[in-house]
Structure 1
């Protein structure tokens, strides 16, 4: 009986400790779109490191300045101590008896994503990395989007106050420092003034509207024309008679197909400018095919932040756009 009681208490303590370990995970640290790579300096300075830097450092489409999709830094395995282990995005590279690739979440902190890439030698590791490169990059980006959305949920704007949102039957999660510029019932324009550094003269902007779904096969090719019409109608420059927002004519936007809220969607990244003026910047447009209501719901974000990098601002707009739900 005594032995059984001891075993029961021991088991209870172990279960309690396990639960406590999960509960007391530290908050992860690090900027969004940044990855800490744990590998030997010799590998990082060689072909393997170049392969990783070139892949993660691919230029993000649509930005006026060249900025990478993901920023990377490196640390040797013997330097990967407790301080480094709370980094949010980590990739661990090493040699083993076989090729392996897997992802773990919330190992040392939360939210956290750790990608493990193993091979029998440098060429083998590079092979595994290249086979899973897109999956790896998507995992980091998706994780950072979810984290950003959770932050915005804590200070969420009440989007139901806007007539356009109610009429379109949508919801989205944006922080409450966005203010209304225009809300016609058919078109919504929200603006957030940027407060840091030189960008304090700039703004992040959200546009929401819909257009009839006439031919699904032509939605993608009509995105530029639609946004130019919206710009002319709703987004004037300093001289309302001669100036309005257009898609930059010297730069061809890049459109890709994806799924948003379970619906076929076209994501377009490009640059906007004000006709007959010098204002310009990047935009991110999501045109969602809503067959149920025979329409295309458009959620667009654009940034005006002269003289500073804009990847972080566009990423926040991406996180907001991808939170959209259509009722």
Structure 2
């Protein structure tokens, strides 16, 4: 063993090549294979598969569920703002004649006060010169004072009404100022919303073609179950609107959003609904799923940001999302929050 070990120590070690020439054949082979794989992947695009229509539909639903609450909030604030502006204008019209009455009454009081002063001095002089009794003078002055008190009472009533209306208008003006800021903030988001809507439309075109429609808008007879009365009329109207495009904030006649569609359908039945999903929830009474009948409203999601109109047989008509159209859809498989019946 000692000799063998000693002989190994005398063998000169191999030195690595420092030549600038080609690398060893195995190394060249590995690099060539890796390069070929990279080129193949880049050329074929198999590194990332194209999303399926179902996956795109899920993306659209997720994006829209973020957008629709903002749209409904805009509907609420903008409607309230317009209503309060109209109220403020009406109060202003009521204030103008009241102020005129106050001014006119104040003028009369001034005249009475001057007359009282003059009558008082004349009566005193008459008492001294003509022998009129003090009782006559006091009676005349009392009558003038009574007239003045009556005029003062009248103006006090008018002034109180004026002051109340002025106070109401001041409160309303403050609310309008606040809502104007909110309305402007939501309007500023319009550009962002429209950009998102454009993205949704592109996704739909990729998944379903340039029409943006998904399947058949009316796969069965609509309404499925027809009943008379206001609900039946509303259901029939909703069915007639199938095919109209979705446009947020729209109440017809060319386009609709979800609460705009239900508003228009029930308007045909002579029932007024407000253009906001939560208001429509408040304005209608609760019904059980087992008691649903055509015309009933079906609300979705915990914040009630979407609504459809039941047409029987487990089907509803609704305005789904931007880029889509008023269409029929099954209730099952959706996050239902509850059912309500207007009227």
TM-score range, shorter chain: under 0.3
Which gives a bigger RCO, structure 1 or 2 (Cα 8 Å, sep 6+)? 2
Which of these two proteins has the greater Rg computed from alpha carbons? Answer: 2
Q: TM-score, normalised by structure 2?
A: 0.20
Give the helix-richer structure, 1 or 2: 2
